[in-house]
């Protein structure tokens, strides 16, 4: 009888997790609220730039300059075209207002992949086109990298979505934050666990991993070549609906901006 009760309780917990994720109320928290608030120092200056103009890869870059000096952060969505959370949140970020510095966002980095709702675009997987000690491996990668070099970011965040849970589904890397040496991945993951992961999804707690920089990923290249504090964020499809994934992605984005001085918190 005791074993049956334990099994029943476990079934209730799984059911609560599935139902809770689908119906979890939106709570943007202080970080995201601050990002959406107008800068207290005056109106920011906003600009747009067309990348890879007159090519099939043409896409838009958005820049928001706060009145106060500070670092430059660059946010990428849509490096993989079917990872909606990064695309959705990057589109929101173009309307965020930093307290200091410059916020640069490319919501649809591989626009063809986004339009086709596919992971890869015409030239394959864009996030494998930045090999160490070589030039970008495709026309699209070259155009994106030219924009990165022009803006010379201090901070880079590439937004992604995996399918499983890190440490549970061995073939996937969901619920993880990868970061370059010297970046602040551990504290940002802790913020995510405190503010974004509900109690009924203990498997969904984020892990932080310092990454080697020898790989061909975009965030590897920005750390290698520019010395930027670089992050690759992964949430998961497992038991999460679109809004739950988006909320985790919003909080991760705001946490990175706060840690690196673009946002102020604590009622300032």
Question: What confidence score (pLDDT) does residue 98 get?
Answer: 94
Neighbours of 135 (CB within 10 A): 10
Q: How confident is the model at residue 264, as a pLDDT?
A: 87
Q: What is the pLDDT of residue 121?
A: 97
Residue ranges per domain, the chain?
Answer: 27-259
What per-residue confidence (pLDDT) applies to 166?
86
Amino acid 268: pLDDT: 42
Q: What is the pLDDT of residue 32?
A: 87
User: Quick one: angle between helices 84-93 and 242-259, nearest 10?
Assistant: 50
CA distances from 43 to 32, 71, 73, 98 (A): 18, 18, 18, 10
**How many Å apart are CA 29 and CA 253, to the nearest integer?**
13
**Of 159, 122, 119, 157, nearest to 139 (Cα)?**
122
Identify the H or E element spanning 139: helix 139-151
Q: Report helix, strand or coil for 62.
A: strand
231 in Cβ contact with 256 (< 8 Å): yes
Classified as helix, coil or strand, 248 is helix
Phi, psi at 157, each rounded to 5°? -135, 120
Of the CATH numbers 3.40.630.10, 3.40.190.150, 3.30.70.1710, 3.40.50.200, which one belongs to the domain with range 27-259?
Answer: 3.40.630.10
Residue 150, pLDDT score = 98
Series of mean pLDDT values for 10-residue runs along the chain (268 residues):
32 42 49 75 89 98 96 98 98 95 98 98 97 96 98 98 90 94 97 94 95 97 98 96 96 96 74
Residue 38 has a pLDDT of 59
Longest CA–CA separation in the chain, Å: 70
How much is the pLDDT for 64? 97
């Amino acid at each position: 009888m005791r074993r049956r009760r334990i099994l029943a309780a476990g079934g209730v917990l799984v059911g609560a997790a599935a139902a809770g994720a689908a119906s979890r109320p939106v709570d943007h928290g202080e970080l995201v609220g601050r990002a959406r608030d107008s800068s207290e120092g005056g109106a920011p200056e906003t600009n747009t730039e067309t990348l890879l103009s007159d090519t099939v890869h043409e896409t838009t870059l958005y820049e928001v300059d706060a009145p106060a000096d500070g670092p430059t952060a660059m946010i990428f969505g849509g490096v993989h075209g079917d990872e909606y959370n990064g695309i959705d949140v990057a589109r929101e970020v173009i309307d965020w207002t930093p307290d200091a510095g410059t916020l640069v966002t490319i919501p649809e980095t591989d626009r063809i992949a986004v339009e086709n709702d596919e992971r890869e675009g015409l030239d394959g997987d864009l996030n494998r086109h930045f090999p160490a000690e070589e030039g970008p491996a495709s026309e699209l990668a070259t155009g994106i990298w030219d924009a990165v070099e022009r803006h010379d970011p201090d901070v880079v965040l590439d937004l992604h979505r995996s399918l499983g849970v890190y440490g549970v589904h061995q073939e996937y890397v969901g619920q993880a934050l990868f970061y370059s040496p010297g970046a602040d991945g551990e504290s940002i993951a802790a913020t995510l666990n405190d503010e974004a992961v509900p109690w009924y999804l203990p498997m969904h707690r984020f892990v932080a991993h310092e990454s080697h920089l020898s790989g061909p990923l975009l965030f590897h290249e920005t750390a290698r070549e520019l010395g930027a504090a670089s992050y690759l964020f992964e949430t998961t499809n497992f038991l999460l609906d679109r809004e739950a994934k988006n909320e985790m992605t919003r909080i991760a984005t705001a946490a990175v901006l706060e840690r690196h001085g673009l946002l102020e918190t604590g009622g300032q």
